[in-house]
Amino acid sequence: MAVKKKGLGSKGLGIEALINTKMDDLKETAMQNTAQMGDSSPKELDLDMIEPNRKQPRRYFDEKALEELATSLKTYGMIQPVVVQKNGDYYELIAGERRWRAAKIAGLTKIPVVEKSWEAGEAFEVALVENIQREDLNPLEEAESYKRLQEEFGLSQEKIGEKVGKSRSNITNMMRLLQLDNRVKNFLWENKISVGHARALLAITDGEAQFDMAEHVIDEECSVRETEVLVKKFLEPEEETTKPEKEVAALVNKRELEDSLKSIFATKVKISANKNKGKIEIAYFSEDELDRLLTIMKRMEV
């Protein structure tokens, strides 16, 4: 006769009870760790009494990620307290705005907080360091934060590096991203290019040329190494004329042709050219769209 197996745990409480017990342990540990940040003990505060930090380094919050976190908060509650400081009749968030936003989505009325008191510069540093440690910042948000620490609070790049645990050269390289053409910055914001791509593109100082090269890199799905090679070739001088002039003309012409074809076919068109030969790729995303494109092409037959 087979022995009847019990559920998980010494008392056969099942997986749900085991998870809930583990989450309770995590909550207790998190509260203890947060309390060690200073002499303030964690306490609960009405969500409506907390307002976001207007100088928060982070400006973009992924809605899908917030929804996922809100679902977790509904089930397990908030494990890690947010950090606030008194500001008149309300409390201003110093660290934990993502958790605060998710708590609002989850419909929580109270959340655990640790109250601290800092000067404006110190509060900004704490918020910046927390976001960097959690890897929550977009590269441009990080670069802008370093610029603020330098310009508003008079910190050298070396001092900034000490505060955030990064080398001075790393701070310098991140701040250089702010020199990108605004359109290329948007590519970085949208994760169409990486920091490595952006650093390579910085070597092209002409904004229009830099933008055209960035579009080429995105369209051709170039790696960082391939981008570095393209930029190097772009900047090397040639007899009679320079490669930048030739490359810019070629890229601009290619872009104009693609735009013209996009307007005809109402879909993405990609041109790949090499000397006197190349190919044109017309994208479609369903059988109906393919039929539409074939109809347009047939009408062109004269």
Residue pair 106/73 in contact by the 8 Å Cβ criterion: yes
Q: Any bridge partners for residue 45, and if so which? A: 111
Other residues' Cβ atoms within 10 Å of the Cβ of residue 217: 23
Q: Known catalytic residues?
A: 97
Buried b or exposed e, range 155-192, using 16+ CB within 10 angstroms: bebeebbeebebeeeebebbbebeebbeebbebbeeee
For the chain, where are the alpha helices, taking DSSP H only? 15-35, 63-76, 97-106, 120-133, 139-151, 157-164, 168-176, 182-189, 195-201, 207-219, 224-235, 243-265, 287-300
Question: What tokens does 105 get?
Answer: 């989505």
Question: What tokens does 209 get?
Answer: 């040329």
Residue 246 identity: K
> Looking only at Cα atoms, what is the longest distance across the chain?
93
